Amino acid sequence: MATDPFELFNDWLAEARASEPNDPEAMALATANSEGRPSVRMVLLKGHGSGGFLFYTNEQSAKGDQLAANPQAALLFHWKSLRRQVRVEGAVERVSDADADAYFASRARDSQLGAWASDQSRPLDSRETFERRFEDMKHRFEGGDVPRPAHWGGYRVMPQRIEFWSDRPHRLHERRLFVGEGDSWTEGLLYP
Protein backbone atom coordinates (compact mmCIF):
# COMPACT_ATOMS: atom_id res chain seq x y z
CA MET A 1 0.00 0.00 0.00
CA ALA A 2 1.99 3.02 1.32
CA THR A 3 0.36 5.43 -1.15
CA ASP A 4 0.28 9.17 -0.49
CA PRO A 5 -3.46 9.92 0.05
CA PHE A 6 -3.17 13.23 -1.79
CA GLU A 7 -1.64 11.61 -4.86
CA LEU A 8 -4.37 8.97 -4.80
CA PHE A 9 -7.04 11.68 -4.48
CA ASN A 10 -5.49 13.55 -7.44
CA ASP A 11 -5.66 10.36 -9.54
CA TRP A 12 -9.28 9.66 -8.57
CA LEU A 13 -10.35 13.27 -9.15
CA ALA A 14 -8.73 13.25 -12.60
CA GLU A 15 -10.67 10.09 -13.47
CA ALA A 16 -13.88 11.68 -12.15
CA ARG A 17 -13.32 14.80 -14.26
CA ALA A 18 -13.08 12.54 -17.31
CA SER A 19 -16.16 10.43 -16.53
CA GLU A 20 -18.60 12.23 -14.23
CA PRO A 21 -21.37 13.89 -16.24
CA ASN A 22 -21.82 16.79 -13.81
CA ASP A 23 -19.72 18.55 -11.15
CA PRO A 24 -16.93 16.09 -10.30
CA GLU A 25 -15.77 18.70 -7.74
CA ALA A 26 -19.10 18.51 -5.87
CA MET A 27 -18.73 17.37 -2.29
CA ALA A 28 -21.10 16.96 0.61
CA LEU A 29 -20.00 19.11 3.54
CA ALA A 30 -21.13 18.00 6.99
CA THR A 31 -20.88 20.38 9.93
CA ALA A 32 -22.39 20.46 13.41
CA ASN A 33 -23.43 23.30 15.67
CA SER A 34 -22.16 23.79 19.21
CA GLU A 35 -24.77 21.33 20.53
CA GLY A 36 -23.64 18.70 18.04
CA ARG A 37 -26.70 18.90 15.75
CA PRO A 38 -25.44 17.89 12.28
CA SER A 39 -26.17 19.51 8.95
CA VAL A 40 -25.03 18.55 5.46
CA ARG A 41 -25.14 20.27 2.06
CA MET A 42 -23.34 20.18 -1.28
CA VAL A 43 -20.51 22.62 -2.00
CA LEU A 44 -17.80 22.75 -4.66
CA LEU A 45 -14.14 21.92 -4.11
CA LYS A 46 -12.09 24.97 -5.12
CA GLY A 47 -8.60 23.74 -4.32
CA HIS A 48 -6.84 20.84 -2.67
CA GLY A 49 -3.44 19.52 -1.72
CA SER A 50 -1.47 18.41 1.30
CA GLY A 51 -2.67 21.54 3.14
CA GLY A 52 -6.32 20.60 2.83
CA PHE A 53 -9.51 20.85 0.82
CA LEU A 54 -10.84 24.35 0.04
CA PHE A 55 -14.33 25.77 -0.42
CA TYR A 56 -15.77 29.28 -0.28
CA THR A 57 -19.04 30.62 1.09
CA ASN A 58 -20.88 33.33 2.98
CA GLU A 59 -19.40 33.18 6.48
CA GLN A 60 -22.75 34.33 7.94
CA SER A 61 -24.55 31.32 6.44
CA ALA A 62 -25.66 28.36 8.54
CA LYS A 63 -22.45 26.51 7.68
CA GLY A 64 -20.37 29.57 8.55
CA ASP A 65 -22.11 29.86 11.93
CA GLN A 66 -21.60 26.15 12.58
CA LEU A 67 -17.93 26.24 11.63
CA ALA A 68 -17.38 29.24 13.93
CA ALA A 69 -18.92 27.31 16.83
CA ASN A 70 -17.40 23.90 15.98
CA PRO A 71 -14.46 24.05 13.54
CA GLN A 72 -14.61 20.39 12.50
CA ALA A 73 -16.10 19.04 9.27
CA ALA A 74 -16.48 15.99 7.09
CA LEU A 75 -16.52 15.89 3.29
CA LEU A 76 -17.84 13.23 0.95
CA PHE A 77 -17.04 12.97 -2.74
CA HIS A 78 -19.32 10.47 -4.52
CA TRP A 79 -18.46 9.59 -8.10
CA LYS A 80 -21.28 7.31 -9.15
CA SER A 81 -19.93 6.68 -12.65
CA LEU A 82 -16.70 5.33 -11.12
CA ARG A 83 -18.46 3.56 -8.23
CA ARG A 84 -16.13 5.32 -5.82
CA GLN A 85 -16.27 7.71 -2.93
CA VAL A 86 -13.80 9.56 -0.75
CA ARG A 87 -14.52 10.59 2.84
CA VAL A 88 -12.46 13.31 4.53
CA GLU A 89 -12.62 14.33 8.21
CA GLY A 90 -10.68 17.07 9.94
CA ALA A 91 -10.32 20.43 11.55
CA VAL A 92 -11.31 23.56 9.64
CA GLU A 93 -9.59 26.92 9.36
CA ARG A 94 -10.45 30.08 7.46
CA VAL A 95 -8.28 30.95 4.49
CA SER A 96 -6.45 34.28 4.46
CA ASP A 97 -8.20 37.41 3.24
CA ALA A 98 -5.68 37.59 0.39
CA ASP A 99 -6.59 34.06 -0.76
CA ALA A 100 -10.31 34.83 -0.47
CA ASP A 101 -9.84 38.07 -2.44
CA ALA A 102 -7.95 36.25 -5.19
CA TYR A 103 -10.56 33.53 -5.52
CA PHE A 104 -13.47 36.01 -5.39
CA ALA A 105 -11.87 38.04 -8.19
CA SER A 106 -11.76 34.90 -10.37
CA ARG A 107 -15.53 34.28 -10.07
CA ALA A 108 -18.03 35.24 -12.74
CA ARG A 109 -19.37 38.77 -12.21
CA ASP A 110 -22.94 37.55 -11.62
CA SER A 111 -21.64 35.16 -8.94
CA GLN A 112 -19.83 38.06 -7.31
CA LEU A 113 -23.01 40.16 -7.38
CA GLY A 114 -25.01 37.25 -5.98
CA ALA A 115 -22.65 37.10 -2.99
CA TRP A 116 -23.59 40.70 -2.22
CA ALA A 117 -27.33 40.22 -2.87
CA SER A 118 -27.84 37.07 -0.79
CA ASP A 119 -28.28 36.86 2.97
CA GLN A 120 -27.49 33.17 2.64
CA SER A 121 -29.50 30.82 4.87
CA ARG A 122 -31.68 33.67 6.19
CA PRO A 123 -35.47 33.73 5.60
CA LEU A 124 -36.54 35.22 2.26
CA ASP A 125 -40.05 36.62 1.84
CA SER A 126 -40.14 36.15 -1.96
CA ARG A 127 -37.97 35.34 -4.94
CA GLU A 128 -38.72 38.83 -6.27
CA THR A 129 -36.99 40.38 -3.24
CA PHE A 130 -33.80 38.48 -4.01
CA GLU A 131 -33.96 39.33 -7.73
CA ARG A 132 -34.49 43.01 -6.87
CA ARG A 133 -31.48 42.95 -4.55
CA PHE A 134 -29.41 41.35 -7.32
CA GLU A 135 -30.45 44.15 -9.72
CA ASP A 136 -29.58 46.73 -7.05
CA MET A 137 -26.09 45.25 -6.79
CA LYS A 138 -25.70 45.40 -10.58
CA HIS A 139 -26.38 49.13 -10.43
CA ARG A 140 -24.25 49.69 -7.34
CA PHE A 141 -21.14 48.16 -8.94
CA GLU A 142 -21.84 49.17 -12.55
CA GLY A 143 -18.68 50.13 -14.41
CA GLY A 144 -16.30 48.87 -11.74
CA ASP A 145 -14.88 45.81 -10.08
CA VAL A 146 -16.97 43.94 -7.52
CA PRO A 147 -15.01 43.70 -4.27
CA ARG A 148 -15.30 40.70 -1.98
CA PRO A 149 -17.89 41.27 0.75
CA ALA A 150 -16.37 41.20 4.25
CA HIS A 151 -18.71 38.33 5.19
CA TRP A 152 -17.60 36.09 2.31
CA GLY A 153 -14.53 33.88 2.57
CA GLY A 154 -13.00 30.49 2.35
CA TYR A 155 -12.39 27.47 4.53
CA ARG A 156 -9.79 24.73 4.47
CA VAL A 157 -10.61 21.27 5.79
CA MET A 158 -7.30 19.91 7.05
CA PRO A 159 -7.69 16.14 6.85
CA GLN A 160 -6.97 13.90 9.78
CA ARG A 161 -8.67 10.89 8.15
CA ILE A 162 -9.17 10.13 4.45
CA GLU A 163 -11.04 7.01 3.35
CA PHE A 164 -11.10 5.73 -0.23
CA TRP A 165 -14.07 3.44 -0.96
CA SER A 166 -14.35 1.30 -4.10
CA ASP A 167 -17.42 -0.70 -5.03
CA ARG A 168 -16.95 -4.44 -5.44
CA PRO A 169 -19.44 -7.19 -6.37
CA HIS A 170 -21.61 -8.70 -3.63
CA ARG A 171 -20.89 -5.78 -1.27
CA LEU A 172 -17.31 -6.95 -0.84
CA HIS A 173 -16.18 -3.33 -1.16
CA GLU A 174 -12.65 -2.08 -0.64
CA ARG A 175 -12.08 0.57 2.04
CA ARG A 176 -8.63 2.13 2.44
CA LEU A 177 -8.21 4.41 5.44
CA PHE A 178 -5.37 6.92 5.85
CA VAL A 179 -4.92 8.47 9.29
CA GLY A 180 -2.70 11.51 9.74
CA GLU A 181 0.00 11.29 12.38
CA GLY A 182 1.93 14.55 12.44
CA ASP A 183 3.41 15.02 8.97
CA SER A 184 2.96 11.38 7.97
CA TRP A 185 0.12 9.00 7.25
CA THR A 186 -0.61 5.45 8.24
CA GLU A 187 -2.73 3.30 5.97
CA GLY A 188 -4.95 0.33 6.65
CA LEU A 189 -8.03 -1.45 5.43
CA LEU A 190 -11.55 -1.48 6.90
CA TYR A 191 -14.14 -4.18 6.60
CA PRO A 192 -16.91 -3.14 4.19
Query: How would DSSP label each residue in the chain?
Result: ----HHHHHHHHHHHHHHH-SS-TTEEEEEEE-TT--EEEEEEE--EEETTEEEEEEETTSHHHHHHHH--EEEEEEEEGGGTEEEEEEEEEEEPPHHHHHHHHHHS-HHHHHHHHH--TTS--S-HHHHHHHHHHHHHHTTTS--PPPTTEEEEEEEEEEEEEEE--GGG--EEEEEEEETTEEEEEEE--
- In the annotation, is 171 catalytic? yes
Per-residue confidence band for 2, with pLDDT thresholds at 50, 70 and 90: low
- Which pLDDT does position 21 carry in this prediction? 87
pTM of the model: 0.93
pLDDT tens for each residue of 55-91: 999 999 999 999 999 999 999 999 999 999 999 999 9
43 band by pLDDT with thresholds 50, 70 and 90 = very high
Among the listed residues 84, 140, 171, 176, the single catalytic one is 171
- The full set of domains in the chain, from first to last, is 5-107+150-190 (2.30.110.10)
